[in-house]
């Protein structure tokens, strides 16, 4: 049942190319237009949306945070991402023109379900991005966009995360094509769909080059703390990398926005402190690449051990990196579908090196059906 892998998590990490490919499948008609059969909110209602609120917990919330960058860019609709349990007990400003998008692998997470109910009471339209057919959250939502990751057994979410990003991007592209909002960004939905279709092969390639990551995980098994830095869409990836390490290896880990370093976290840097840095593509806008390379330089000068995730061909990082982990080139907004993979493998290997239960970490349940 584990298909030759030692753990479900390892199997599910290796299923990620399929999770993305299958989630993309059947979303375009013969003319290349996006089709979303499962979306039963009228096109007029979607054109009238003035705000999107994404509600989710844990890894699903990080997928939502990645999606915010793409959705705002493509749709020009303001997007908020909120942890479902926080949303629920606030007095959020929501009306019938708000689209509340819940993201949940299981479809049974109590906090997320309650957030959806709260949103409905306030009159919002609700869309569920979910991996489990017929589960409660999609049943109670106005519309559903299923991720096709297949069953996820390991408690730590991996392939669902990639499928959730993919599905929310499809939703974003659909809204953008309805509203004709993408022209300003110099691209169009069909172009992004074509780029997304190239991602599974890139993940496959990446999975074939993880030996160095596995090696560093083994000699880092005694680490007391690991930090993760990212910027733009790399920021939620940093938080997801930290969450994986907490869950699987019981190591203190924190993800930061790289720009926040000098506002506090740089005080944590002392000789030998391991820091993963997710570097944006050299083609990124606003000079983000150079800014993150400077951050690596700053922390290295203070003795950090820098584990750098960078695009193939990015030579600027080399002088400041103790280890460089390469990912295939891809457009900036799609990069999380690649950069998170080494962090998943790292946490898996570190957990294995410590002799821990990878699939069933202590104190955790696969779906959290209580508050």
Residue from 54, 155, 317, 348 in contact with ligand M6R (CB under 6 A): 155
Name which of 20 and 176 has its Cβ closer to ligand M6R: 20
Return the residues of window 21-80 that contact ligand M6R according to CB under 6 A: 57-60
Return the residues of window 284-323 that contact ligand M6R according to CB under 6 A: none
Residue found under tokens 């990878």: 358
Name which of 48 and 364 has its Cβ closer to ligand M6R: 364
330 lies in the binding site for ligand M6R (CB under 6 A): no
Q: Where are the alpha helices (DSSP H) in 180-277?
A: 189-197, 199-207, 211-219, 234-249
Give me the catalytic one of 51, 120, 291, 366: 366
Give me the helix-helix angle, 58-75 and 234-249, nearest 10°.
170
Return the residues of window 235-254 that contact ligand M6R according to CB under 6 A: 247
* CB contact at 8 A, 286 and 276: no
> Contacts with ligand M6R: how many residues (CB under 6 A)?
16
Residue found under tokens 């999606």: 67
Residue from 16, 104, 136, 284 in contact with ligand M6R (CB under 6 A): 104
State yes or no: is 366 an active-site residue.
Answer: yes
Binding mask 112-141 for ligand M6R (x = CB under 6 A): x-----------------------------
DSSP codes, 289-342: HHHHHHHHHHHHHTT-EEEEEEETT--TTGGG-SEEEEE----GGGTHHHHHHH
Name which of 57 and 145 has its Cβ closer to ligand M6R: 57
157 lies in the binding site for ligand M6R (CB under 6 A): yes
Tokens coding 235: 């920021």
Q: Which helix (H) or strand (E) holds 51?
A: strand 51-56
368 lies in the binding site for ligand M6R (CB under 6 A): yes
- CA 145-149-154 angle, to 5 degrees, is 125
Name which of 155 and 321 has its Cβ closer to ligand M6R: 155
Name which of 89 and 198 has its Cβ closer to ligand M6R: 89
156 lies in the binding site for ligand M6R (CB under 6 A): yes
Tokens coding 255: 């993800």
DSSP codes, 262-282: GGTGGGG--TT-EEEEEPPPT
Q: Name the residues that contact ligand M6R, by CB under 6 A.
A: 57-60, 104-106, 109, 112, 155-157, 247, 364, 367-368
Residues designated as active site:
366
């Amino acid at each position: 049942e584990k298909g030759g892998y030692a753990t479900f998590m390892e199997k599910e990490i290796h299923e990620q190319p399929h999770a993305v490919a299958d989630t993309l499948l059947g979303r375009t008609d013969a003319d290349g237009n996006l089709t979303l059969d499962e979306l039963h909110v009228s096109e007029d209602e979607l054109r009238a949306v003035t705000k999107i609120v994404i509600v989710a917990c844990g890894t699903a919330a990080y997928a939502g945070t990645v999606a915010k960058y793409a959705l705002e860019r493509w749709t020009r609709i303001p997007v908020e991402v909120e942890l479902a349990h926080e949303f629920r007990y606030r007095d959020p400003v929501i009306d019938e023109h708000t689209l509340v998008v819940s993201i949940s692998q299981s479809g049974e997470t109590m906090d997320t379900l309650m957030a959806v109910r709260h949103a409905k009471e306030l009159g919002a339209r609700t869309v569920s991005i979910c991996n489990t057919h017929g589960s409660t959250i999609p049943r109670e939502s106005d519309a559903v966009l299923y991720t096709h990751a297949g069953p996820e057994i390991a408690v730590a979410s991996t392939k669902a995360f990639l499928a959730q990003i993919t599905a929310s991007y499809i939703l974003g592209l659909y809204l953008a094509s309805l509203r004709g909002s993408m022209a300003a960004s110099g691209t169009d939905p069909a172009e992004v769909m074509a780029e997304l279709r190239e991602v599974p092969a890139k993940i496959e390639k990446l999975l074939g080059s993880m030996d160095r990551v596995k090696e560093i995980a083994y000699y880092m098994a005694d680490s007391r703390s690991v930090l993760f830095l990212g910027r733009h869409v790399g920021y939620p990836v940093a938080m997801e990398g930290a969450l994986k390490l907490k869950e699987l290896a019981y190591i203190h880990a924190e993800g930061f926005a790289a720009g926040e370093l000098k506002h506090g976290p740089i005080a944590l840097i002392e000789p030998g402190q391991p820091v993963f840095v997710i570097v944006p593509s050299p083609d990124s806008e606003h000079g983000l690449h150079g800014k993150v390379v400077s951050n690596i330089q700053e922390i290295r000068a203070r003795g950090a051990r820098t584990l750098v995730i960078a695009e193939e061909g990015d030579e600027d990082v080399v002088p400041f990196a103790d280890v460089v982990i390469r990912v295939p080139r891809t457009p900036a907004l799609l990069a999380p579908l690649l950069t998170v993979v080494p962090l998943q493998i790292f946490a898996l290997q570190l957990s294995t090196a410590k002799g821990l239960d990878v699939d069933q970490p202590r104190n955790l349940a696969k779906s959290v059906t209580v508050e």
